[in-house]
Structure 1
Amino acid sequence: MANDRLRDAILRNGLTPGAVAEKIGVDPKTVERWITQDRIPYPRHRHAIAAIVREDEPYLWPDAVTPEKASKIGQSELIRLYSRRSSVPYDLWGRLIERAQKRIDILAYAGLFLVEQDPRLVDVLRQKAVDGIEVTILLGDPTSDAIERRSVEEGAPGVMAAKIRQVQHYYNRLADEPRVKVLYHDTTLYNSMYRFDDEMLVNMHVLGFPAPHAPVMHLRRLNGGDLFGTYSDSFDRVLLGAKPQPGGEVAT
């Protein structure tokens, strides 16, 4: 059986088996066998190919990385654990935004602190979008039950919806930028997520505690790991149910 995933990934990146072989230092016939006979390369070659075609190893070779191995690699994806969001260095947020070259994704209920700690954030996101970076911002739907429930759990009814409406005024300034999407979700969030290419800050939610007082994980994706991918998949699931307007229909 052929490895169609590998074949497709190579072609999508404008490459040929011969070009891949040259980049990683093997015979072109070896790459052909990896494709046509679905042979599994050595780990060092899998790492190199996955980096070249920008895909995860488990996607290209599902049988090559066992769940145990993926879990072990996933542990190395954790760069640092902060006991609370307020402990995350201010300049780390700026560095992650500045270094992003492909995508910036924000999933929160409000995330008001981002624009409060850096009044230039909206202008920075606009310029990143002009430079070709896709920016996706998922805010909580202020009309949803999930938002009011979160406010009540924090002992401040109505506050979360007010924060969302406040942050809307900032992001509405990006409405004319085609590479920026601001959508709304009614998901009960277990974490807020801030993804910058292959790095992510995950702000865990703790019942009864505001987000600034809850832990944050700094993750960096590694080929074959499963921790970063778990949270990325969660972001994508929320995105599928997001709406262009509060109280509106799901975006398509």
Structure 2
Amino acid sequence: MPNERLRAAMAAGGWTYATLAGKTAVDPKSVERWVNQGRTPRRATAVLAAETLGEDVHALWPALRQARAARAVSPELVALYDQRADVPISRFTDLMAQAQGHVDILVYAAVFLHEAYPRLNDLLRERAAEGCSVRIAVGDADSENVRQRGEEERFGHGIESRCRLALIHYRPLLGVPGIEIRTHGTTLYNSLYRADDQLLVNAHVWGANAFAAPVWHLRRHDEGGIFDTYAQSFEAVWATATPVQER
């Protein structure tokens, strides 16, 4: 049975088999089968195609939702990465670039963002200028929990230095309307990178650096789901964090 929803989405955006195939790294004949034969691609490919078309992946391929229900997997899970090092930097920056309402970052340091994408501050300024609320919480380098984390990772004072470096990276954003920066001293169980209703969660594993720990990509589905659980944890930390003052 043809996938009329997919056909309509492609037509609305002027996508051809070849152009969508190029975006999803498949053969154009595969895209043709999705449309004309109702074939369901592999989940990662389906997610990429849906994001490219600006559609909900489960609306395009209901079979994916059914398969997830059978496996008792949360419908909010878009992708799971073995470790943060496997996540392309474009996954972080593209989500932020698309945000219209919220960009929230909760980390100890995460200096990899600025190192891999030097124009991150420009991107955040652009989002704020468009009316997006940008909130950034980095670790307080002098807090006991940051020090303890360094010991657990056998990183010594390295993480404290990286917290200070992260703050140096973000300081040029102080005073920019729509952007707030705070420091926190909480026990951080996960690093969070939110863009509207999508969220990248970098789990923290005892004794391992964050780059070696898993990441799950979530998309908010229903009220009270796992996305909301993490969003609420951000709010709880944010409420206790200390605003960074302009010098």
Q: TM-score, normalised by structure 2?
A: 0.68
1:141 and 1:232 mapped to 2: Cα distance?
21
Aligned 1:53-202 pairs, distance under 5 A? 75-202=74-201
User: What SS is found at the alignment partner of 1:104?
Assistant: strand
Q: CA deviation at 1:127?
A: 1.3
User: What SS is found at the alignment partner of 2:181?
Assistant: strand
- Can you give the 5+ residue segments of structure 1 that lack an aligned partner in the other structure? 1-71, 247-252
Q: CA deviation at 1:181?
A: 0.5
Q: Is 1:218 the counterpart of 2:222 in the alignment?
A: no
Tell whether the 8 Å contact from 1:194 to 1:201 is kept in structure 2 after alignment: yes
Tell whether the 8 Å contact from 1:74 to 1:228 is kept in structure 2 after alignment: no
Residue in 2 aligned with 1:238? 237
Superposed CA RMSD in Å reads 1.7
Task: Give the residue type in structure 2 aligned to 1:114.
Answer: L
Per-residue Cα deviation, 1:44-79 (whole angstroms, up to 9, x for no partner): xxxxxxxxxxxxxxxxxxxxxxxxxxxx99800001
1 or 2 for the larger relative contact order (CA 8 Å, sep ≥6)? 1
Tell whether the 8 Å contact from 2:82 to 2:213 is kept in structure 1 after alignment: yes
Alpha-carbon distance change, 75 to 185 in structure 1, aligned in 2, over 3 angstroms: same
Residue in 2 aligned with 1:13? none
Tell whether the 8 Å contact from 2:101 to 2:196 is kept in structure 1 after alignment: yes
1:234 and 1:244 mapped to 2: Cα distance?
18
Task: Give the residue type in structure 1 aligned to 2:106.
Answer: L
Runs of 4+ in 1 over 2 A off after TM superposition: none
Q: CA deviation at 1:130?
A: 1.2
1:169 and 1:223 mapped to 2: Cα distance?
38
Tell whether the 8 Å contact from 2:106 to 2:193 is kept in structure 1 after alignment: yes
Q: CA deviation at 1:178?
A: 2.1
Task: Give the residue type in structure 2 aligned to 1:192.
Answer: S
Task: Give the residue type in structure 2 aligned to 1:214.
Answer: A
Q: CA deviation at 1:93?
A: 1.4
Task: Give the residue type in structure 2 aligned to 1:76.
Answer: P
Q: TM-score, normalised by structure 1?
A: 0.67
- Structure 1 window deviating more from structure 2 (165-174 vs 199-208): it is 165-174
- Can you give the 5+ residue segments of structure 2 that lack an aligned partner in the other structure? 1-70
